[in-house]
Structure 1
Amino acid sequence: MFFIADLHIHSHYSRATSKDLNLETLYQWARVKGIHVVGTGDFTHPQWFRELQEKLEPDGNGLFRLKNPPAMPALPGMKVQDIDVRFCLTSEISSIYKYGDKVRKNHNLVYAPDFDTVARINARLSQIGNLASDGRPILGLPSRDLLEIVLTTSDQAYLVPAHVWTPWFSTLGSRGGYDSVDECFRDLSHHIFAIETGLSSDPAMNWQWSALDRFTLISSSDAHSPQKLGREANLFNTERSYEGIFNAIKTQQGFLGTYEFFPEEGKYHHDGHRKCGISWLPEQSVQHSCLCPQCGQPLTIGVLHRIQKLSDRPMPQRPQGAAGFDYIIPLPEILAEIKGSGTASKAVQQAFHQTISTFGNEFNVLKEVPVADLGKQGGPVLAEAIRRMRAREVKPVPGYDGLYGVVKIFEEGEIKDLSGQLYLLGGQEKPAAKNKPAARKDKNKTGEDQFSLF
């Protein structure tokens, strides 16, 4: 069966996360988004683990149901497509330690098939650090040793390096990582079968380095609020079970690929210095010795630069049997551009509410509903926006040094030309795009257009 899974999120016990990150709200927003399997996040936190045990029940296939799912939708009056949401036991762990005369800062995802396995993992980790201090605990535990603990608790417990290129906290990041997965996990590296690409890279960028060909590339939201669920996600056509999910990832049989951010939208795509407003391509940084020209401080080296430094291919080369991918822009961002206001504005929230109620969930709008039907029921501006997103006819402004990028769909004044007035729903005018924005040049830049999911 086909299903969508977001396997990296957080709870309200993690720092800098929404107080609304509880199981009931995650269930509600998974239905709004169109997600069938959601990670629990943070199972190492004692209080959250107790909540998981109290509120979830095994479904018999290694996943979990919410015992008392809320009948109310995420937003009052919203109509959503009926989805039977399941949960997968997940957690993210921050390892900060010294290895090879260098401080390493790696984040890793851990997955477990049942509560007993989680209890064993937590018992071992609690001897190393304070698990109650943060939903994503910080431990002085090398990634290699964390993997050993995971492997000894269950032959169905797995570790996947998280957002593998992020400069500060990842396996391959420019500031706290290694120059290879093998260097990080050493004698146990053969147990690593997947890596998470993170928001600032996509599979095609990873396909520039042959050393990564053996790994399945997965993507998840790393959501710090329920509204951010599904901004990246994994697609499966297999049994909806814990074993089915991880067998598909291991073998790429039944793993269909991922929905991705345009990588420029990620917070660390370009090199840069946020304080001074410097955002550069790798070649610009090299010309300036990777120093900020205004203050002289070192630039934060972004994902694009880091991949180029380690890669051994001038262009992406898709490994044989590797799953594809496709891009999405979160629906609130699309509506915000159409409305000319922020994603939290009343106008955007009303448009989001009405659009979801019309089409059932967000992934239906972004990827499933034919453009012609979007035009009939959602209006010409929304239809043209979705058409351009699917065709990759967008203009990204890259993020850098912790600042998210922006993906623009329309040129100034173009929305007015398309609709005759600024509205979202109910219009019947035929789209007539003028001054079409320059498309993202995938083929010339990275070759991604060869690797579409569909």
Structure 2
Amino acid sequence: MLVNADFHIHSCFSSASSKDMLIKNMAPKAKLKGLQLLGTGDAFHPGWLDIIEESTTYLGDGIYESNGMDFVLTTEVEGKHRIHHVIIIPNIEIARELSDRLVSKNKLVDGRPRTNYSGAELLELVREYDCLIGPAHAFTPWTGMYKSYDSIYDCYEKKVDFVELGLSADTFMADRVSELKDFPFLTNSDAHSPWPHRLGREFNALEMEDISFSSIKYAIKHNKIKANYGLVPNLGKYHMTACIKCYKLIDPLVAKENKMKCGCGGRVKKGVDYRISEIADYAEPKHPDFRPKYVHLMPLAELISTVYDKGVTTKTVQGIWQKLVDSFGTEIDVLINSPICEIMNIDSKIAPAIESFRKGTINVIPGGGGKYGQILFDETPEPKKEAKPITLDDF
């Protein structure tokens, strides 16, 4: 069976997360998105584990069910050098024991615990309990593994189970790095709210015997990931090198020459695109034989928001989103599978936008510095000058 899974999300206990990130809200939204399996996130937080137990039915072999959605225990941990790691956990008993053993001052407060454990130490700890582990959003400039290391083995010393690409990268970028040819890639949403443009914005299609921890482990370790679905990378908020204050895109070499300072006085953050170019061994990607297809996605609500020039969480946008999903089953079906002529019958303004998305003719002002990229259609005005990378003449 083919299972759509999003393993990396956060609960209401994580900083900057919505108070609505509860099992009762995640489950129905994940189903409407087109997912069959969702990570719980924050599984080292005792209070969140209590809520999981109260809100779900345990089906066995690591799977907890609520409202027709299956959950597996997952967490993100911030380790040494502020590097983030994703861990997939066999069951609640193991999650509680690992939480007790993890040395962390904030694990009772924040869903994402901080610790001084190195990647290698975390790997050894969780491997004792048959967990799966890999770097979260591996290339991002604040907390990605490659922001501190030039090699994954410098971080973990041994081979980890997977590499999470993050919203600002895709397979075509990551497969320019030769050492990653032996690693499966995961694409997850890192959602902090259950809104449909966040939850499941990236996910994986896995071939599994059944929905269980054992099948998840087998699928990841034996190249049964059949597709990665993820944002067009330049929509990611760290795709390009940019100022974190004014969000101007800046040529990385210019940024280095100016000691990573913008003309506005703000700090410049190196983009994922440039970081990969620094560690890449190949000018073009070299995909290993087992690498599955990568399907680019754009959140349907953001397409609707752009077309109607309304906020993504407004009643107008959410109402149209709901109407389309009610008509075709899931957001994934609307974006990828449903005939354009049938979408036209529902909304004549949205159909051309989805067709443009499928053809890859949508333009995007790239994201950077913590600001997401902006979707543009042919009729949309040209981007403002601040979206153009700064050169030495601007200083």
Provide TM-score, normalisation by structure 2: 0.91
Q: How many residues align?
A: 378
Q: CA deviation at 1:208?
A: 0.7
Distance 2:313 2:267 in 1: 35
1:294 aligns with 2:263: yes
What residue number does 2:22 align with? 22
Q: Cα–Cα, structure 1 residues 130 and 289, in superposed 2: closer, same or farther, change >3 Å? A: closer
Please name the residue that 1:85 is paired with.
Answer: 69
Contact 1:42 1:48 in 2 (8 A): yes
Contact 1:218 1:257 in 2 (8 A): no
Residue 290 of structure 1: CA displacement?
5.4
Q: Secondary structure of the residue that 2:375 maps to in structure 1? A: strand
Aligned match for 1:159, one of 121, 133, 137:
133
Report the AA paired with residue 275 of structure 1.
K
On the 8 A contact 1:112/1:158 being kept in 2, the answer is: yes
Q: 8 Å contact 1:107–1:162 — kept in the other structure?
A: yes
CA contact 2:104–2:113 (8 Å) conserved in 1: no
Could you give the per-residue CA deviations for residues 53-83 of structure 1, whole angstroms, max 9, x where no partner exists? 22222223431112xx3xxxxxxxxxxxxxx
What fraction of aligned residue pairs are identical, expressed as a percent?
Answer: 32
How has the CA–CA distance of structure 1 residues 283 and 388 changed in structure 2, closer, same or farther, with 3 Å as cutoff?
farther
1:100 maps to none
Q: Does 1:304 align with 2:270?
A: no
Partner of 2:385: none
In 1, are the aligned partners of 2:306 and 2:375 still within 8 Å (CA)? no
For residues 187-225 of structure 1, what are the alpha-carbon distances to aligned partners after superposition, in whole Å with 9 as ceiling and x for unaligned?
Answer: xx22x0211000011111001111111111111110000
Q: 2:125 aligns with which of 126, 141, 149?
A: 149
**AA partner of residue 138 (structure 1):** R
2: CA distance, partners of 1:284 / 1:391 = 34
- Which of 185, 201, 209 aligns to 2:156? It is 185
| Structure 1 residues 142 and 328: alpha-carbon distance in aligned structure 2, compared to 1, 3 A threshold | same
Residues 387-440 of structure 1: per-residue CA shift (max 9 Å, x gap)? 221221111111111111112234238xxxxxxxxxxxxxxxxxxxxxxxxxxx
Amino acid at match of 1:300: K
Q: 404-413 or 303-312: which moved more?
A: 404-413
Which residue matches 2:182?
Answer: 214
Please identify the structure whose Cα radius of gyration is greater: 1
Conserved 8 A contact 2:247-2:371: no
Give the equivalent residue in structure 1 for 2:146. Answer: 172
Distance 1:60 1:297, change over 3 A: closer
Gaps of 5+ in 1: 70-83, 98-103, 414-454
Q: Residue 173 of structure 2 contacts residue 276 of structure 2 at CA under 8 Å; is this kept in 1? A: yes
Aligned-partner SS, 1:44: coil
Call closer, same or farther: CA 1:88–1:313 in 2, change over 3 Å: same
Partner of 1:345: 314
Task: Tell me which amino acid in the other structure corresponds to 1:332.
Answer: A
RMSD: 1.8
CA positional deviation for 1:131: 1.5
CA contact (8 A) 1:129 1:140 kept: no
Distance 1:266 1:402 in 2: 8
* Mapped contact 2:364–2:375 kept (Cα < 8 A): yes
Query: Partner of 2:108: helix, strand, or coil?
Result: helix
* Structure 2 Cα separation of the partners of residues 298 and 48 of structure 1: 35
Q: How does 1:3-402 map to 2 (within 5 A)?
A: 3-66=3-66, 69=67, 84-95=68-79, 97=80, 104-125=81-102, 127-152=103-128, 154-155=129-130, 157-173=131-147, 177-186=148-157, 189-190=158-159, 192-227=160-195, 228-239=198-209, 240-253=211-224, 255-282=225-252, 285=255, 288-289=257-258, 291-295=260-264, 299-375=268-344, 377-402=345-370
TM-score normalised by structure 1 residue count: 0.80
